[in-house]
């Protein structure tokens, strides 16, 4: 039965789709991986021909996701709170919540975390983590922002992903692993490893 990682945040513009795509590419050499685009806009699905080695699917029915014949399924979600999220969280093994480090971005996380906690009451093996994403190089994360995120009760992952042109363009350049940006590759692969450790713990 496939492990399911869902990437979710009610706020748009936090890099969910790019992160979901690059994580799927990180795992595809070791596992049979599917990337499911559950956003009606289909932004990932529209580039599927550029990634012939990766199964990129749409899903009309959430229940179909759990029966897909893959080792790992990564689900990209729409940039709003839809009624699909609770159903997705109920099926998931891990929910990854990317956020920028701005105060309003961080505060917007709370609605998504509330849905995760609701699902965890039913799906007791569901784990979750917040990842700081699109962080400006050399900007530094304030202690206040980190403390605020940690106070929400969902683990803040150690890996931070910075705002890099190579990552932004990775959906058009065959993915970050094929770039020459060593630091970007290290960040994405570190995030993938940290998620595996969270699921396995």
Strand partners, 74: 5, 35
- Please list the ranges in the chain whose pLDDT falls under 50: none
Q: Could you give the CA distance from residue 20 to residue 36 in angstroms, rounded to a whole number?
A: 9
The 10s digit of each residue's pLDDT in 61-108 is 788 898 899 999 999 998 776 778 899 999 999 999 999 988 888 888
Domain boundaries, the chain: 3-185
* CATH architecture, domain defined by 3-185: 3-Layer(aba) Sandwich (3.40)
Are 175 and 22 a contacting pair, CB within 8 Å? yes
Structure tokens at 100: 């920028």
Q: Are 51 and 18 in contact (CB under 8 A)?
A: no
d(CA 201, CA 188): 20
Residue 94: in which H helix or E strand, if any? strand 94-99
Give me the pLDDT at residue 190, please.
Answer: 98
The span from the CA of 102 to the CA of 69, in Å, is 39
pLDDT at residue 80 in the model: 73
d(CA 131, CA 109): 11
The pTM (predicted TM-score) of the whole model is 0.94
Q: Is 8 helix (H, G, I), strand (E, B) or coil?
A: coil
Q: Cα separation of 200 and 167, whole Å?
A: 27
| Runs of H (alpha helix) within 11-164 | 16-27, 62-65, 84-91, 103-120, 143-150
What pLDDT does residue 106 have? 87
């Amino acid at each position: 039965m496939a492990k399911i990682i869902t990437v979710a945040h009610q706020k748009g513009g936090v890099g969910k789709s790019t992160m979901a795509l690059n994580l799927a590419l990180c795992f595809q050499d070791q596992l049979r991986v599917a990337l499911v685009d559950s956003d009606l806009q289909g932004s990932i699905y529209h580039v599927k021909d550029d990634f012939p080695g990766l199964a990129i699917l749409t899903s009309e029915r959430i229940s179909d996701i759990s029966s897909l014949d893959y080792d790992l399924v990564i689900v990209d979600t729409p940039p709003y709170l839809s009624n699909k999220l609770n159903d997705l969280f109920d099926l998931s093994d891990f929910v990854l919540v990317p956020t920028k480090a701005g105060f309003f971005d961080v505060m917007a996380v709370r609605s998504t975390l509330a849905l995760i906690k609701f699902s965890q009451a039913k799906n007791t093996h569901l784990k979750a983590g917040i990842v700081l994403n699109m962080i400006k190089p050399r900007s530094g994360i304030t202690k206040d922002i980190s403390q605020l995120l940690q106070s929400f009760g969902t683990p803040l992952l150690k890996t931070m992903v910075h705002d890099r042109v190579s990552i932004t363009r990775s959906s058009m350049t065959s993915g970050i692993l094929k770039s020459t940006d060593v630091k970007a590759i290290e960040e994405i692969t570190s995030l993938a490893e940290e998620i595996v450790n969270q699921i396995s713990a």
